[in-house]
Structure 1
Amino acid sequence: MNVEIELRDARVHYGPLEALHGVHLPAPAGAVTVLLGRNGSGRTTALRALAGTVPLTSGRVLRRGEDITRTPAHLRARRGLCSVPDQQAVHPTLTVAENLRLAAAKGDVTPALTVYPALRPLLARRAGTLSGGEQRMLALSRAVLAHARVVLVDEPALGMSPPVAAATYTILTALAARSAAVVIAEQRLPPGLDGRTAAAVTVVVHQLRRGAVVFSGEPAEIPAE
């Protein structure tokens, strides 16, 4: 598999606290890469480092072998990277329709309403008035509309009902099947990515603990805690 984006020997500090300790984390194209870990494990920081929203203290971020460590987040986005954080992922004062139009590469929002039909009756609503699950659907629609080559999502199903969560993992798997590098941060491995139901794409798991990768492999190989 070709590596689309990766952290190499990455260290990140928040003041005196080192949040990542020399992490090496490759994300292949055409695969779903799952960063597993509890709160404080470093998984969210790893996503932010890939997105360019936190700087590295040392190490590198590579995109198809090119060093983009010093490339600002907005330029990474212009080059096909879509980041969906766990909070503040929508423009709250804009309507749902306006949020979708901002994300649509060609102005057509139909693909988002196809994968998340529950958004259709909400088009005139301001995004800040939506429920948590509705905001999550709207935020994830950006990845569908942007045709991104790299999709970074922190806890995709946060606030969603089980059926919508299942649909969301199907959507992310479909993006990977179209050659995107999909990287998601989770506390536990979702049922839809256990290696059986996601057979159409490769699922790679990196388990983080206290800012270090303690396991890398396939879902079936994850050690019992």
Structure 2
Amino acid sequence: MDAETQALPRDARHRVDRTRARARYDRASVHAILDAGMIAHVAFSVAGQPFVIPMLYARDGETIVLHGSIASRLMGELADGVPACLGVTHLDGLVLARSHFDHSVNYRSVVVFGRARAVGDADEKAAALSRFVDALIPGRAAESRAADRNELAATQVLRLVIEDASAKIRSGGVKGNPADLALPHWAGVVPMRTHYAAPQPEAGLADASLPPSVRGLLAANEAIA
């Protein structure tokens, strides 16, 4: 058992009990995995009925920015501060073993516990949406129009405070049964990457040249190809 896990009480809601060596509790690991993602699954319960909603998100310091329609009942429940749990996972590779039992995947995941609060101040809401856009693609907020008064009024913006969080990471190769080494089956890792395709400009653009944010995204995409 590692020191960080050992320091957590057994009933800590974010304690990882299975494959503890893969657990990380430091904020740097948690933030890095959150920052690399765009989609989170947000779970909470209303009157005994559990819900899980896939949502775009952005980390902003020790909070996670979520947004949706002001008319959404579930967004309203979250805004009331019910206990919530948010999960993000990245798949990094298929781990193919000689046995069915030892097949796996390499991954990075985070589970966050906290409560959300509604952002009511118009300036704070506009800043949160700007941060949201820049989380999708850095620099994009400055290249596009900010939300107007009507759009802000129609949008529910939430900040979910990161109260507790744990990361879990699996990397490396096959961890199989030594008795299987003589079997004639191929084993190894097939890495997985996310790549962006060629941008498709909207019809009727006066200037179809790519903005800096998109050029930067494509450059980063080429660097990891």
Interval of TM-score (by shorter of Structure 1 and Structure 2)? under 0.3
Higher helix share: 1
TM-score, L = length of structure 2: 0.26
Q: Which has the higher contact order (CA 8 A, sep 6+)?
A: 1
TM-score, L = length of structure 1: 0.26
